[in-house]
Amino acid sequence: MPTDDTYTECNFTKLYTVEIPPRDKWTNDQMYVEEGSHIWYTDGSKKGNDVGCGIYGERPKLRASVSMGRQASIFQAEVFAINKCVEINLDRNLRHQHIYINSDSQAALLALDSLESNSKLVQNCKTNLNALANSNKVTLRWVPGHSDITGNDEADELARKGADTPLIGPEPFCGFTKREAYSLLNNLEKRRAIDGWKFVRGQEHSKALIKPFNSRYAKELIGLKRHKICAVSRILTGHCKLNKHMFQLGLKQEATCRFCQETEETAMHILCSCGPLMSKRSIHLGRQVLQPYEVQDLTAQRIWNFLDSTGISKVI
């Protein structure tokens, strides 16, 4: 697929100006605009996976929406909108005019203000901006989004309309980014890993108590001290010195729970339903009796606190 990424280029020619004024200048209607100038607003929008951009001309009056398909990023939509606005002005063959192009994307404006770029779209936009600024005064200006500024609201509406319109033509609209490729590959591998975990034989105990590929939980678990990590990992996988597991290994003669003396002592029994541990379970895990899927949402620290209070942490 065609890519938007390219080798980093440095361009020391910048005939246009980029301004990022304070928000209150816009909200207090203190922005200076040269009399008789051309005023434009651009915006990008993403609804689900659909991307579009909008261009609104306040003076001269013009409204345009562009559908960018499902592969473009919101950053690309913002830059493309600015570039499309520049192309419209180039086609008008303007001379000795002051042109304001307002965008609510600081990322796009800073990329166009930078001397370096590694995006074909950004480089093309810079080239067009310099061509327009060669015979006109061009100012790119940041405008705060969702601040009841008429021009920006109009551009936002046009961008949403573009996102709602199906793309006619091949994807990707303006080149695939390296970040998007990494994201797609990461999601693909995660889906494959989850499917592998779901359909692997055995591991019923671990599947019942552990939410697969939860990066937030993994980060929290790794942040604990080593002896806590060991205890929590052992109880969640069932590979620990509880009576049922030791009985299966032939290292104990009975599998009965040491607390209730009624049923087999498994990790699921200890965490979810053992009668004598109800009060401790209520204090540390939030409920007297738990379902296995509810254990999946408990933090590692809370599970450790429960194990420590029962004394099981010293056994397993």
**171 three-state secondary structure:** coil
| Ramachandran angles phi, psi of 90, nearest 5° | -65, -40
Which string of b and e fits 30-59 if b means at least 16 CB within 10 Å? eeeeeeeebbbbbbbbbeeebbbbbbbbbe
Query: What is the structure's pLDDT at 71?
Result: 87
The kind and range of the H/E element at 132 are helix 120-133
Tokens of 84: 């499309």
| Ramachandran angles phi, psi of 192, nearest 5° | -65, -40
Tokens of 47: 């609804």
**CA 205, CA 200: separation in Å to the nearest integer?**
13
Query: What is the structure's pLDDT at 49?
Result: 87
Query: What is the structure's pLDDT at 6?
Result: 86
- pTM to 2 decimals? 0.68
69 with 77: CB under 8 angstroms? no
**CA 199, CA 188: separation in Å to the nearest integer?**
17
Query: What is the structure's pLDDT at 5?
Result: 87
Query: pLDDT of the chain along its 316 residues, tens only?
Result: 788 888 888 888 999 999 999 999 998 888 889 999 999 999 999 998 899 999 999 988 999 999 999 989 999 999 999 999 999 999 999 999 999 999 999 999 999 999 999 999 999 999 999 999 999 999 999 999 988 899 999 999 999 999 999 998 888 888 888 888 888 888 898 888 888 888 888 788 888 898 877 788 888 989 999 999 999 999 998 888 999 999 999 999 999 999 999 999 999 999 999 999 999 999 999 999 999 999 999 999 999 999 999 999 888 8
Query: What is the structure's pLDDT at 275?
Result: 94
**123 three-state secondary structure:** helix
* Angle (deg, nearest 10), helices 215-222 and 300-310: 50
Tokens of 74: 């919101």
**Residue reference for tokens 């001379």:** 95
Query: What is the structure's pLDDT at 161?
Result: 96
Query: What is the structure's pLDDT at 65?
Result: 96
Tell me the residue type at 231: A
Domains, the chain, in order of start with CATH, read: 5-179 (3.30.420.10), 203-314 (no CATH)
252 with 225: CB under 8 angstroms? no
Query: What is the structure's pLDDT at 59?
Result: 84
**CA 117, CA 5: separation in Å to the nearest integer?**
9
315 with 241: CB under 8 angstroms? yes
